[in-house]
Amino acid sequence: MRLLALEASGFRAFSKSVSFDLDADAIVVTGPNGTGKTSFFDAVLWALTGRLRRYEGRGGSVLSLYSKTGQARVALSLGDSDPAFRIVRTFDSERSHVVVETDGRTLEGPSAEVRLLEALWPAALATEDPGDVFETALTRSVYLQQDLVRQFLESDSDEARFQVVGELVGAGRLTELQQELERARNAWTRARTDLERRAQTARKTVEQLRSRLTRLTEQAPSLSDALSRQWSEWWSAVRTLGLLKREETPVTSSKAPTELSETLQLLQAERRSVERRRTETAALRSEIHEQSMISQADRDALESTSTRLADLNSKVAEARSQLAEAQSQAAEERRTQTELTESQEELRTLASLALRHLEERCPVCEQEYDRPATRTRLENLIGASPGKMPTPAADAAKGIAAHLSEVERELAQASASLAQLESMARREEEWRASLPNRMHQLGLSEPDASALEGALESLIHDCEQRSTEISRLYAAGEQLAVAMTRAAEMAQREDLQSQLAGAERDLSTLESQFSAHTRTREVASQMLDATRDAGHEAVALQVRRIEPLVERIYARIDPHPGFTQVKLTTALYRRRGQISTLVGDPRAALADQDPLPVLSSSQLNALAVSVFLGLNLGVPTLPLRAALLDDPLQSLDDVNLLGLVDTLRRTKVLRQLLISTHDPRFASLLERKLRPVGDSERTVMISFEDWTREGPTVSQGQVTPEPIDYRVAAA
């Protein structure tokens, strides 16, 4: 099938509806960059696959921002001469929908996708992601995208190239079978590892059961007799302590372990009680010894301190009385001293006034006087220092106050000592009052003071002996419990034999399953190796068929003066198929398996176009009998264009050509070279002249064949 017609509206650059006539052997799309040529090719790819991989994950959308309807819609007609399929795909920014019209039926959704793949690429239906496989087949053999020209050489690894070519030549299912076989083999390997681990655990279990059974069989007679004897002796010793009055349960009884455990708990509780009693007795002995050491001294100190305190109180009262009398006399002395000081100040003041008015005669009585002697006397009065009276009462008050302070300090010390001694006396009385009750709690009658300490010593000794005996019996009881556990194990020999037989059966089953899984894994490995070899051979055979075609196309484009030879080599590396592109210089006998370091960007583009056209022409089956090239001129130098155009002219006979260019000269060259040469051929020119918010301005026309002049050559 080939392309017949295309309609697009609201899709990328096409904001309004545009229709294209594609029912031709060659369609040349021309126009400046940015006018919608790539959107035209994307519309074809999106209608077929419903996806544009290069926009995935970038937040891009096929819906035009200037869409009048808010919906992207593309309709593509396919067929030979009449439409056999009409695909209508829409997207409203949330959901996409597809409709396929064929054989008078209209299919929608998943059924439409399945019918489309059945007609164009049935092999994709057997894969996990049919849409991805179909899109890969188209972009590697039918549609050479403008910005992904060298992806097959640069981005794809050798293994990825092998998978792509394998899918195109029909070996994709072998690759999937390899993957399924490898997953199955890995699953069997994991199961085998798990079985091996379980078998190892089972072996250890069998060995442990055998060892226990052998040990119990050897120890059975002697252990049974010794256990009965130890059981009777232990219970007799426990009764001797007075903790139990009943007879012991036979060691063979089912209640024996429970009663043993309860008795061990009773021994533990009794030992704690005895230790507590010993501790309390030792503490009481220490207190009695301390009381006997300090009691008489404390009584003597209390009596002497009380007598001294009374004497000090009387001294304090007498000193306070003397101090009050001395303070009263000192106050009278201070008053007399104050009056004397005031009189002296008045005389100095009067002397100053008189000295200021001293003349020949007295200014008051007009009498004559001895002026020098008077002046001298006045000056002496003014300069005389204030007189001070003796203060014996004040000095005595200071001495009495110091004596009172010392006596009060001694009184405070004596009071504190007396309070402490009285507190000790009260505590002694309280201790002596509590002594009978404490003796009663310890199980002692209150003996004479001389025999009390001996009774306490005897009680401490008895407690230590009882605690030691209880500890010995407790340890013996624990050993007895262990021996009873071993005896119980011996009683379960039959059960152990049954467990051993079951474990041996489980081990045998696991070993059989392990052997079966090992054989299955080996068969899967053989099948996987055979499938890999078959898949590699199938792809290698097709590559050998395609290789001469790629080499002829590359030679016709002639991008490099030295490296004129191209080889597609296949290999198995780590059991994975790989395809490498090799370029060589036959004259210099040089070759390089990686063309990226030796070819320029334009030369790499020429090689990529050669490989693409080789796959397009050499693969037996294609989704479409067409070759779509989006502006290959941007990827090639001018010197390579003539070779490419010549190749395209030859390709037009075998494939429907859909090629775009931004260069008017290249468009004119394509128009001449791809023009029809017969009535059955048809070439269409589509011109994108401009782009506005309404969409691109498009003109379409059919290229007419040029007339052929016939001339008769002379014989």
Report percent pLDDT > 70 for the chain: 79
Asked if residue 691 has pLDDT above 80, the reply is yes
Average pLDDT over residues 282-302: 67
**Please, which pLDDT band fits residue 76 given cuts at 50, 70 and 90?**
very high
Average pLDDT over residues 273-294: 75
Supply the pLDDT for residue 296: 58
**Please, which pLDDT band fits residue 477 given cuts at 50, 70 and 90?**
confident
Average pLDDT over residues 19-45: 91
- Confirm if 554 and 181 have CB atoms less than 8 A apart: no
Q: Among 99-103, 442-446, 480-484, where is mean pLDDT lowest?
A: 442-446
Cα separation, 697 vs 370, whole angstroms: 148
Supply the pLDDT for residue 712: 53
Asked if residue 247 has pLDDT above 60, the reply is yes
Query: Which of the 8 DSSP states describes residue 632?
Result: G
**Please, which pLDDT band fits residue 89 given cuts at 50, 70 and 90?**
very high
Cα separation, 371 vs 374, whole angstroms: 5
Supply the pLDDT for residue 708: 57
For residue 338, the surrounding DSSP H or E stretch is helix 256-356
**Please, which pLDDT band fits residue 259 given cuts at 50, 70 and 90?**
confident
Average pLDDT over the chain reads 78
> Could you tell me which residues come within 8 angstroms of residue 193 by beta carbon, excluding any fewer than 6 positions away?
none
Average pLDDT over residues 419-432: 72
Closest-CA residue to 256 (of 264, 266, 248): 248
- The pLDDT tens digits of the residues spanning 117-152 come to 888 888 777 777 888 888 888 887 788 876 665 566
Average pLDDT over residues 619-643: 76
**Please, which pLDDT band fits residue 488 given cuts at 50, 70 and 90?**
low
**Please, which pLDDT band fits residue 713 given cuts at 50, 70 and 90?**
low
Residue extents of the structural domains in the chain: 1-142+625-715, 256-459
Between 509 and 308, the higher pLDDT residue: 509
Closest-CA residue to 166 (of 452, 481, 428, 536): 536
Cα separation, 86 vs 73, whole angstroms: 13
How, if at all, do strands 26-30 and 683-692 pair?
A: parallel
- Phi then psi for residue 572, to 5 deg, are -105, 120
Between 110 and 679, the higher pLDDT residue: 110
Supply the pLDDT for residue 138: 82
647: left (phi over 0), alpha (psi -120 to 50) or beta: alpha
SS3 584: strand
Q: Among 485-494, 514-523, 563-572, 676-685, where is mean pLDDT lowest?
A: 485-494
Highest mean pLDDT among 27-31, 254-258, 458-462, 620-624: 27-31
Q: How many CA atoms lie within 13 A of 521 on its CB side?
A: 15
Average pLDDT over residues 509-532: 76
Asked if residue 265 has pLDDT above 80, the reply is yes
Per the structure block, which two tokens stand in for 554?
A: 């590359």
Angle at 376 between CA 372 and CA 380, to 5 degrees: 170
Asked if residue 22 has pLDDT above 80, the reply is yes
Average pLDDT over residues 659-665: 88
Asked if residue 416 has pLDDT above 70, the reply is yes
Between 279 and 227, the higher pLDDT residue: 279
- The pLDDT tens digits of the residues spanning 571-586 come to 776 666 677 777 887 8
Please, which residues bridge with residue 661 across strands? 30
- The pLDDT tens digits of the residues spanning 598-612 come to 777 777 777 778 887
- Phi then psi for residue 649, to 5 deg, are -60, -40
**Please, which pLDDT band fits residue 56 given cuts at 50, 70 and 90?**
low
Please, which residues bridge with residue 101 across strands? 86, 106
Supply the pLDDT for residue 18: 93
- The pLDDT tens digits of the residues spanning 9-18 come to 999 889 899 9
Cα separation, 586 vs 564, whole angstroms: 8
Hey, CA dihedral for 560, 561, 566, 571, is it positive or negative?
A: negative
Average pLDDT over residues 231-247: 78
> Could you tell me which residues come within 8 angstroms of residue 675 by beta carbon, excluding any fewer than 6 positions away?
683, 703, 704, 705, 706
Report percent pLDDT > 90 for the chain: 9
SS3 629: strand
Asked if residue 40 has pLDDT above 90, the reply is yes
SS3 688: strand
Supply the pLDDT for residue 229: 81
Q: Where are the alpha helices (DSSP H) in 77-171?
A: 109-120, 130-141, 151-154, 158-168
Per the structure block, which two tokens stand in for 341?
A: 């000081």
Q: Among 276-285, 400-409, 443-452, where is mean pLDDT lowest?
A: 443-452
- The pLDDT tens digits of the residues spanning 158-192 come to 666 666 666 665 555 556 666 666 777 677 778 77
- Confirm if 393 and 312 have CB atoms less than 8 A apart: no
What's the CATH number for 1-142+625-715?
Answer: 3.40.50.300
Q: Where are the alpha helices (DSSP H) in 619-663?
A: 638-651
pTM of this structure: 0.53
> Please, is 257 exposed, middle or buried when counting C-beta atoms within 10 Å of its C-beta (0-12, 13-18, 19+)?
middle
Query: Which of the 8 DSSP states describes residue 143?
Result: E
37-59 in b/e form (b: 16+ CB < 10 A) is bbbbbbbbbbbbbbbbeeeeeee
